[in-house]
Structure 1
């Protein structure tokens, strides 16, 4: 094994240690010091719901995240289940956030940046009135950002952005703004091939779409009659 490979493995080992230390700290926080937070939300009896009620949720913008949030909340009846769901969701968010930031900045800095949303949501979980669907929608948006920035071809990347914006809105509701703002910043700061006019034009279109699509859906689909 070459010294370069050993250095890479050593650095990856340190980042992995930080990753697992965060998860362990989160488990200790909720498992021993904030036990009451693990049962903060009343179980919504989703397992006893009928198909019609489920479809009504899935057919509204953000309904998929709401449904998944209510589904996972069912496990909050058991403290172990709640702990697994909370730590698991924060770990997934940390992993995909790191994948996004590591494509843009140094991997060590990327790890620090990726800790910010996970720490933020761990604090939000301390609020009894925080809806679990929020982190579901945010994770979906972060995953979509990762898909978007991995496309090197500019035309394909922009096409994917146009397709993802309505999908993210339908799955995650307001989390679409996280994607559109990230796409805006990525185009403006990272695109060195397009002209300034072209970069700003497409970047602003992303933001406008994330505003116009919810308005159109609101006043045509739901209030059109």
Structure 2
């Protein structure tokens, strides 16, 4: 606690611990299955596999649910097969399933994901997956991680020294070419007992770097996922935000 006398007034720093309630009630589940994602964008990063590994790793240490270890599902092929017709008895395609011709050859941006959306509404399919893994909470969705370039005026800090050698930092506006990546994950939480979607949330992250700076795509991917993970974990459990306030007495 910080106490500083100012006349008859004391200044106190009071710690604040604020709980943020979980977005989902996960008490009906003892297990969680991150099954995989429909993904695309940058070819040098497998956004599906990297997202599965990262979310499972976080859940092992920060969730009470048991993480199911299984190979990710080939969801892009599953969606295409469903569009052709039921390949598994009792698992019909959704009523609004696209035709096989509607799927893009490659997934490059968000628009290319649209034909895959009916997959997540196919309750019969997800209920069948749930039965295979003892009715867990299922995590799936889409992930786009794609290169991006931009140019324009940015503010940089420039060091200036006067005649006495004293340093001053001044904001300077300069024109700069920058390149980087955009991350667009959508996380879909499905009830493995009924196959129904319980909750979904979309995110957008962007990182741009000076054009002469060589930042590996995978490093940028993890940097942006770090910003998404707290919200993902808060979907499953109550989190606490710690801070402080200055009080006068």
More helix by share: 1
Asked if these proteins are the same fold (TM beyond 0.5), I'd say no
TM bracket, shorter-chain basis: under 0.3
More strand by share: 2
TM-score under structure 1 length normalisation: 0.25
Query: Which has the larger Rg?
Result: 2
TM-score under structure 2 length normalisation: 0.24
